[in-house]
Structure 1
Amino acid sequence: MSVHDKAAEIEQMLDEILSSETEFFKVGFKVKPTNNFKVYLDGDKGINIDQCIKFNRALRKMIEEKGWYPDGDFSLEVSSPGIDEPLKNIRQYKKNTGRLVEVTLTDDIKKQGILKEVSESGIIIEQKIGKGKKTVTQEADLPFVNIKTTIVQIQF
């Protein structure tokens, strides 16, 4: 069985684990040729390290029960995607409603604003245009087909 066949099965195992943990969801899954599996999870209210450890242990146990790596010759990393990673799915967008985001469009134009709404087809952000007394607030309706990346901006 190839590493990619195993990866597909591991991803199914992960989906099985997540099916009973409905507030959490898969954001990404990567495989490196060295039998290194990286799982990126998030939750509707975020995900902490203890929750990542719990998912890692459950998934590791299922992989070990398959007997694919009798010498333990694999690694498994479960983490959140990281604050500087682009949003990848609608649940992430919904979770970040009300936050400042920077959206890069497919034509490389950047727009920054507060994420106001998320639908199946796109997002609406509220932008402040101009400076000082000439500042106006306007909404930009951005279809997902026109979005290259969306990154949450950290405000201090």
Structure 2
Amino acid sequence: MPVSTDQTRDRLAGVLTEPLAASGLDVEAIDLTPAGKRRLLRVAVDKDGGVTLDDIAEATREVSRILDETDVMGEQPYTLEVSSRGADRPLTEPRHWRRNVGRLVTVTLADKASVTGRIIESDDTRAVLDVDGTSTEVGYGDVKKAKIQIEFNRKES
């Protein structure tokens, strides 16, 4: 019986998470999609302070080594892409909030209210936003969706 994409993704997470964590990297996403006769494997990584091109190169070598040493990808050919988490991914973990302190975020709350503010601090359970000069606490359990807003002309204060 063929292995499903979800099963392969789970197996990939199992074999990649620990070795990349040993390099100081968090596996943020694993996407596996068909691409003609091949598959496209995308692995997104991140770390405190952000990832550099050297981090991506090291992660690519490590992922490639692991995939060569295991049968997790099976026999079908694939293309590997390793990248940073990217600014467009939603904030879903406390570490995402911590890594984005100082950035502007739009948050949709469970009660459907929306708030936009700058993250001024965060911990394991909540973040504090500066919303038009007022500190607003947002518990992660109340967040339905949160995305960083890209600021092209932000003046550093």
Q: Indicate the TM-score class for this superposition, using the shorter chain for normalisation.
A: 0.7 to 0.9
Aligned counterpart for 2:142 among listed residues 123, 146, 154: 146
1:33 deviation in Å? 4.6
DSSP-derived class of the 2:112 partner: coil
- Does 2:30 align with 1:29? yes
1:62 deviation in Å? 1.4
Q: What residue in structure 2 maps to residue 63 of structure 1? A: 67
On the 8 A contact 2:30/2:41 being kept in 1, the answer is yes
DSSP-derived class of the 2:96 partner: helix
On the 8 A contact 1:44/1:92 being kept in 2, the answer is no
CA–CA distance in 2 between the matches of 1:8 and 1:33?
17
Q: What residue in structure 2 maps to residue 15 of structure 1? A: 17
DSSP-derived class of the 1:45 partner: coil
CA–CA distance in 1 between the matches of 2:120 and 2:98?
9
Q: What residue in structure 2 maps to residue 123 of structure 1? A: 127
On the 8 A contact 1:13/1:59 being kept in 2, the answer is no
Q: TM-score, normalised by structure 1?
A: 0.79
Q: What residue in structure 1 maps to residue 8 of structure 2? A: 6
**What is the aligned length?**
146
The higher radius of gyration belongs to: 1
Q: TM-score, normalised by structure 2?
A: 0.79
On the 8 A contact 2:106/2:115 being kept in 1, the answer is yes
CA–CA distance in 1 between the matches of 2:53 and 2:92?
21
Q: What residue in structure 1 maps to residue 96 of structure 2? A: 92
CA–CA distance in 2 between the matches of 1:88 and 1:47?
18
The percent of aligned pairs where both chains have the same amino acid is 24
